Structure formats: C-alpha cells, structure tokens
Chain A
Amino acid sequence: MIPMPNNILDVKNLRTTFYTHMGEVQAVRGISFEVDQGDVMGIVGESGSGKSVTAMSIMGLVDEPGRVSGGSIKFMGKELTTLTDAEMNEYRGKEISMIFQDPMTSLNPVFSIGNQLVEVIRRHTDLDKEQAHARAIELLRMVGIPEPEIRIKNYPHQFSGGMRQRAMIAMAISCNPKILIADEPTTALDVTIQAQILDLMVRLKKELNSSIILITHDLGVVSEVCNKVNVMYGGMLMEKASVEELFDTPQHPYTLGLLKSIPRDVTGERKRLVPIEGTPPDLLKPPSGCPFSPRCPYAMGICIREAAPLYKLSATHHASCWLHHKGAPAVEGFVQVEEESDHE
C-alpha cells in the first residue's frame, strides 16, 4: 500500500509478545491500520484484547519481558520500531503523546502540576523558564481549568479527577503532537465529566490539527466521537470500518455481538440485550484459528483451523471472517466478496 499523502501513522502487521516464565504471551498478533490527519480512530475491544498493548507498542513503552516482535510502525514515513529508547524520546510527548485511564495515579503526587507541565514543555522546546511557565498557564486555560495562575501551583491531590484528566490533556498537547493516544481516558471519571473530557479532546484536536487514537471498550463513546473504528479481539483485528459502516452494517460476528450487548437504541424501542457467551481467550495458549471461534455462533470448520484474512468489503470497510468467503453459507447481513484485503 502506497502511503497516502496525509497518512500520519501506518501500522503494519504489528506483533507484540511477552516472554514470561510461563511461556510466550502473544498480546498483539499481526494487526494493521492507518491513522490519517484529522482522524479520531477508535480501537474497541474487551480487556485483554490487546488494545492497550497496541498503544504502548506505538509509544515504544512495552517493557520487559515484552517487546515488539514483528511488523512495523511508521510515523510520517519514519520507522519507529527500530529506534532506541533515547531516539524514541524525541517523539514521545512531542509528536505522539498519550493520556491514560486513571488520572488519579497518572500524575506524580510529589510535584506540582506546574512543575510537571513546565518540565515537558522545556523538554521538547527551547522556551526558558518564564516562557514555559506562561505556556503552561495558557495550556491549563485551554483545557478549561479555572484560575490557572493559582491552580498551576497546586499538587495533583488538590485537583479533582476531572481536573486531573484535564491537566493530563494539557500536558499531552503541550507540544502540539500529531497524534494523541487516549487509553480509556474517561473510564475512571463520572459520567457527566466523561462527556466534557471527550468534547474537550475533540475540540483541541480540531484547534491543533492533530489526530486521536481513542482506546475504549465503550461503543457509545466511539459512536459519538470517532470517524474510524478498529475492533480487536484476542490480539487480532476483527473488523475495521468507518464509524457509520460499523454501526449500520457490522460485518463480523464479534462486532455484531458487541452491538447487541449494549443498550444503544436511542429510539426508545425496548430491545433485549444479548450477552456474548463465554470469556476472552487466554493469550498464553490462544485457540488455533480465529480467536473468536469458540464463542462464535457462526463458527465453521475452517475457523478453528485458520484465522480468516482481512476481506475488503469497501474502500474503508474490512473484516476478518470466513463468512465473507464466497464458499461460505450465506448469512443474513453478511456480504461475500472475491477479494481479500490488499495488505500483506
């Protein structure tokens, strides 16, 4: 695939493995996706599906005993997987930044908010102390913290959860990153705060002209803010699509199951929620074939032998399921195509 001109991040066939004393845990098993300028790309999956590990792999923060064991991550055409930790530091926080799930523990409790902000700003820019301080106040104002001149002297424990997440965002956008990775940024927050934080992120993305990768297990959040979605399961990509395609014509039994299991109907019609039976796979000894096959109502003989390739269903819609093979029995709602996805 020739990189499109506005393609910012290009992840190809990424594999991340943890070499534990109990055996290899293949947390991410060959996933590919692209992030374009202005995208808000959701990565959806249950816990253990490999979505956070994907994010950490992009950041180059996978720790021993894990490492990226295959594939490539290209940022603006530059390969990141071969960089040293020190080289990677030039990207982290400057070009690609990240905010985490729990704002209560993600800020260092013994340094003031200002100290931590100024430190990041000065790390990646040539601003002097006063300029960095002024910039920090400006950032806090941008993320909606009242009285930033006073609040900048506060310590994290003097901030509420929502304010801490705002401060985390301020820190993450301090150097105008091209990509902001948000790993479940609202999960630990009150529902009312969640919407504010999401709005803030989307607004800042537009102002700063960057892109967002939003990792979440909440399809509701995805439908509100994302334009693209990757659905992950058992370390593999099940389906990737534009947000409209995914919600209107899901093309993977797992996605279908996810949609049935959330109360998303806003029309007021009462619908029964259908859970997906069973539990996610143990990645220490993943089932052969498609990781979802043990729980899949449409599992076929080939599914337990071989994982399906990524079928290209439209320019923006891909799904990894044998039901799309022309030989498979027809199932209502699933299209069948000749062509497999063109990468790899």
Chain B
Amino acid sequence: MPFQENDFTFLETNQKADKEQVRQALTYWADTWRRLKKNKMAIAGLIGVILITLFAFVGPLFTPYDYDEQQTDFANTPLHVEVFEIDTDFYVYLNPSTYRLLVVAEDGTFLHRLEQTSLDAINKQFHYDNAGEDVIVDFSYKVLPALADEGIDYSIIYKGVEYKTPLKVVPNQTFPLGSDNVGRDILTRIMYGARISLEVALFAALFSLVIGVTYGAIAGMVGGRIDNLMMRFVDIIDSIPLLLYVILIMVIVDNKGLGTIVLTLGLFYWVGMARLVRGQVLSLKEQEYVLAARMLGVSQPVIIWRHLIPNAMGPILVALTMMIPTAVFTESFLSFIGLGISAPLASLGTLANDSLDAIMTYPFQLLAPSLTIAIMMLAFNFLGDGLRSALDPRLRKG
C-alpha cells in the first residue's frame, strides 16, 4: 500500500472528523409530523377528515335546501330520471316507485306534479290531469306477458300519441342524491347529518377529555390511598356494559338535544382517558424536570398543567382521535335504535334508521348515510393509527 506524505504526522483537531456524531435533531412535533407524512394511510385519513369536515360544515352553504324542507310532491326521487318529451317543450317524468307524474324542465329539473285523476285497473292505465288534458301512463307492459318482449315497464300516452322510450335519462337535477319519503334533499340531509354526528363526536370526545384528564391527572399526582380509591371507582365503571346505561339515560331524559347526547356519551367514555393520563402522569412525575420544578416550590396544579399535560399530549391526542370514531359510532347506534337527536334534526344514524323500512325499494337512501358513516370512521381511524405509530417512542429512533 502506498503511503502518503502526511500519513505519519499527527493531525490537528480541526483536521479530524467531528467527534460528536450527532444526527440532526428535530423537535418532538416536527419529528412526529415528519413520520406522519411518510405514512400514506395516515395522510389519506387526514385528507379524509378535512374533506368530511368541509362537507359537513361548509357544504350546507352551497345547497339551496334546508335540512327540514319538504317537497312532498317530489318524494322518493331516485338518482336518475327518465325525461319524456310528450309535446313541444312539454317534458314529464314518471317516478316509478310512487307513480307520481312530474312536469320537468328540459334538463330534468322538477317543476310540479300532475294530479292523478283515475286508475283504470283493467287496462293497467293511470290517468293524470294536465290543465284539462288527459295524460295516460300505461303499465300493461309490465304485467301482460304478450308485451314483455318490448322490454319496457310503461309508456306515456298524450294527445293520442304513445311514447315508449324517454327522450333522455339525466341525473336528478333537483336533488343530486335523490329525495327521501317526504321530499327532502338527501344530500342536504347527509351534510347536516354528518355535521351533527361530527359535533356530537367532537364535543363528547372533548368533554370526556376534560373529565378524563382532570380525573387522571389528580389521581396520578396525588397518588397513594386517594389514587387507589379513584381507580377502584374507574374499575367499577369499567365493569358495566356502558352502552346499556347510555341507552337508559337516553330513555329517561326526554329532551334529545345535542347537549344531552354529548353529556351522556362524555359521562361514560372518560374512563379510558383517565387511565391513560394517570399512567402518563405516574411515569412522568418521576422525571427529573418535574422533581426540579417541585424543588423550586412550584405548586402541584401548575406542575400538572405546565409540565405533565404537555408531555402527555401525544398519547392524549391519539386517544382523542380514536374517541371521535367511537362517539360517531355510538351516536349512530343510538339514533339507529331510535334514541338519537330528535326530529327534524337528524344525524347519520337517524337517516339510516329512517330508511331501513324501505331498504328493498330505496336502498340508496340507506346506503348513502351508511357509507358516509363508514368513510368518516375510516378516515379518523387511519389518522389515529398513523398518529399512534408516529408518536410511538419505540419507533422514534428509526
């Protein structure tokens, strides 16, 4: 091996590599964010949460309807409408599930309903009145075997001319996601429903957070016999099936406003949070900086709020994120068994419950709110899972 000139002369300190081999240090939250960003599922969850929040809180500004605005004439309209032109510039749409004949604009927007005048049971024909002129809808295609190969359900006869095929099939212009059984816009209902579900979940989570953090921090900080007693109480609450008692309270309390549900849910779901915070406080209070603060004579509550809670923030944040889907779930569950928010307000669970009876006829009315719940739960769960692994101290080194 060839040697070089300075090979055997001692080096000055500045010629050597840095002896402190320190990797770039990131702050706690910067590091968490860096690792969260790498997790595709978590980012998908975060985007989902943002979109749902926008949908629920900003969406209602862009719909022309109110959540309780009923247009009974246009009840149970589907996603797509078949527009028949039965006269010059005279367009109609037959709602095949309600047998209501609606006059529509050329683009398919509903205008008004034509009264049904009579029903010809023998010929399977329905008669409607358009300002004195008779409009006939002929359903014989559906029932007479001889006409079955026509492949249509009905035809419309106006001024002696029979129209068998629609001019066009267009998306429902009036109600983008159809309307419900009293003619309310489903999209609007879902927006408000999502908003209510989110509000309930968020406030219930925050409420249980406040109780849980206070309770847990006190138990952990005071310690000893009081801690023991407080945790015993938590054990007892834990050993009863909570949902039953949430139901029971909802039965007893007659006023089914937002506040009632929030309080009831929060009242029961703080237990996990209290355990978590107590554990955190117990381990943190042995840390040197807390001992140092105590030696300096800082009071207990100040130590709790200034030192312990900020340091326990990571796990608390994860628990909070995970509590929101739980609360959404519980709320929709309560609504589903008829104990949710009172009408005309409706949460997603109420919407699903209301449309359960008609599942075979109008499956979409059930699927739409159900899917919204599922997406909401997925988004929050992904985000919470991602946060948890981003905050996991065991994985932090990597």
Instruction: Answer whether residue B16 sits at the interface, using C-beta atoms and an 8 A cutoff.
Output: yes
Instruction: Answer whether residue A333 sits at the interface, using C-beta atoms and an 8 A cutoff.
Output: no
In the complex, A278→B61 CA distance in Å?
62
Instruction: Answer whether residue B9 sits at the interface, using C-beta atoms and an 8 A cutoff.
Output: yes
Beta-carbon contact of B3 and A302 below 8 Å: yes
Instruction: Answer whether residue B62 sits at the interface, using C-beta atoms and an 8 A cutoff.
Output: no
Interface residues of B in 1-43 (CB under 8 A from A): 1, 3-11, 15-23
Closest Cβ neighbor of A289 among chain B residues: B17
Shortest distance from the beta carbon of A10 to any chain B beta carbon, whole Å:
27
Beta-carbon contact of B398 and A277 below 8 Å: no
Beta-carbon contact of B18 and A325 below 8 Å: no
Residue in contact with B3 in the complex, picked from A279, A299, A327, CB distance below 8 Å: A327
Binary per-residue interface labels of chain A (263-288) against chain B in the complex, 1 for a CB within 8 Å, 0 otherwise: 00000000000000111111000010
List of B residues within 8 angstroms of A300 by Cβ: 6-11
Beta-carbon contact of A279 and B4 below 8 Å: no
Shortest distance from the beta carbon of B95 to any chain A beta carbon, whole Å:
58
Binary per-residue interface labels of chain B (233-265) against chain A in the complex, 1 for a CB within 8 Å, 0 otherwise: 000000000000000000000000000000000
Beta-carbon contact of A304 and B21 below 8 Å: no
In the complex, A81→B65 CA distance in Å?
74
Beta-carbon contact of A327 and B8 below 8 Å: yes
List of B residues within 8 angstroms of A111 by Cβ: none
Beta-carbon contact of A294 and B8 below 8 Å: no
Shortest distance from the beta carbon of A324 to any chain B beta carbon, whole Å:
12
List of B residues within 8 angstroms of A254 by Cβ: none
In the complex, A332→B17 CA distance in Å?
25
Beta-carbon contact of A295 and B9 below 8 Å: no
Beta-carbon contact of A301 and B21 below 8 Å: no
Beta-carbon contact of A279 and B20 below 8 Å: yes
In the complex, A20→B20 CA distance in Å?
23
In the complex, A71→B9 CA distance in Å?
33
Closest Cβ neighbor of A301 among chain B residues: B6
In the complex, A278→B22 CA distance in Å?
10
List of A residues within 8 angstroms of B8 by Cβ: 300-302, 322, 325, 327-329
Beta-carbon contact of B10 and A293 below 8 Å: no
Closest Cβ neighbor of B11 among chain A residues: A299
Beta-carbon contact of B11 and A301 below 8 Å: yes
Beta-carbon contact of A282 and B11 below 8 Å: no
Binary per-residue interface labels of chain A (239-279) against chain B in the complex, 1 for a CB within 8 Å, 0 otherwise: 00000000000000000000000000000000000000111
In the complex, A295→B17 CA distance in Å?
8
List of B residues within 8 angstroms of A301 by Cβ: 4-9, 11
Tell me whether A22 and B398 are in contact in the complex, defined as CB-CB below 8 angstroms, given that A280-B21, A293-B16 are known contacts. Answer: yes
Beta-carbon contact of A303 and B11 below 8 Å: yes
Residue in contact with A304 in the complex, picked from B3, B9, B16, B20, CB distance below 8 Å: B16
Q: Among the interface residues A22, A302, A327, A328, which one has the most CB atoms of the partner chain B within 10 A?
A: A302
Interface residues of A in 85-118 (CB under 8 A from B): none
Residue in contact with B17 in the complex, picked from A287, A327, A328, CB distance below 8 Å: A287
List of B residues within 8 angstroms of A305 by Cβ: 4, 7
List of A residues within 8 angstroms of B17 by Cβ: 287, 293-294, 304
In the complex, A303→B11 CA distance in Å?
9
List of A residues within 8 angstroms of B3 by Cβ: 302, 327
Closest Cβ neighbor of B18 among chain A residues: A294
List of A residues within 8 angstroms of B18 by Cβ: 294
Shortest distance from the beta carbon of B264 to any chain A beta carbon, whole Å:
40
Tell me whether A299 and B21 are in contact in the complex, defined as CB-CB below 8 angstroms, given that A304-B11, A327-B3, A327-B8 are known contacts. Answer: no
Instruction: Answer whether residue A298 sits at the interface, using C-beta atoms and an 8 A cutoff.
Output: yes
Shortest distance from the beta carbon of B3 to any chain A beta carbon, whole Å:
7
Shortest distance from the beta carbon of A327 to any chain B beta carbon, whole Å:
5
Beta-carbon contact of B11 and A281 below 8 Å: no
List of B residues within 8 angstroms of A22 by Cβ: 398
Instruction: Answer whether residue A338 sits at the interface, using C-beta atoms and an 8 A cutoff.
Output: no
Closest Cβ neighbor of A306 among chain B residues: B1
List of A residues within 8 angstroms of B22 by Cβ: 279
Q: Among the interface residues B4, B9, B21, which one has the most CB atoms of the partner chain A within 10 A?
A: B21
In the complex, A63→B8 CA distance in Å?
41
Closest Cβ neighbor of B6 among chain A residues: A301
In the complex, A301→B22 CA distance in Å?
23
List of B residues within 8 angstroms of A282 by Cβ: 21, 23
Beta-carbon contact of A294 and B9 below 8 Å: no
Shortest distance from the beta carbon of A81 to any chain B beta carbon, whole Å:
27
Shortest distance from the beta carbon of A300 to any chain B beta carbon, whole Å:
5
Beta-carbon contact of B21 and A298 below 8 Å: no
In the complex, A282→B5 CA distance in Å?
29
Interface residues of B in 126-166 (CB under 8 A from A): none
Beta-carbon contact of A329 and B20 below 8 Å: no
Interface residues of B in 92-131 (CB under 8 A from A): none
In the complex, A233→B3 CA distance in Å?
24
List of A residues within 8 angstroms of B21 by Cβ: 278-282, 294
Binary per-residue interface labels of chain B (377-398) against chain A in the complex, 1 for a CB within 8 Å, 0 otherwise: 0000000000000000000001
In the complex, A22→B24 CA distance in Å?
14
List of A residues within 8 angstroms of B10 by Cβ: 298-300, 329
Shortest distance from the beta carbon of A214 to any chain B beta carbon, whole Å:
27
In the complex, A296→B19 CA distance in Å?
9
List of B residues within 8 angstroms of A299 by Cβ: 10-11, 16
Shortest distance from the beta carbon of B340 to any chain A beta carbon, whole Å:
45
List of A residues within 8 angstroms of B19 by Cβ: 277-279, 294-295
Closest Cβ neighbor of A278 among chain B residues: B19
| Residues of chain A having any CB pair with chain B under 8 Å | 20, 22, 277-282, 287, 293-296, 298-306, 322, 325, 327-329
Besides A277-B19, A300-B6, 19 other A-B contacts (C-beta < 8 A): A278-B20, A278-B21, A282-B23, A293-B16, A294-B21, A299-B10, A301-B5, A301-B9, A301-B11, A302-B3, A302-B4, A302-B7, A304-B15, A304-B16, A305-B4, A305-B7, A322-B7, A327-B3, A327-B7
**A to B CB contacts below 8 Å, 7 in the list:** A279-B19, A281-B21, A298-B10, A299-B16, A301-B4, A301-B8, A329-B8
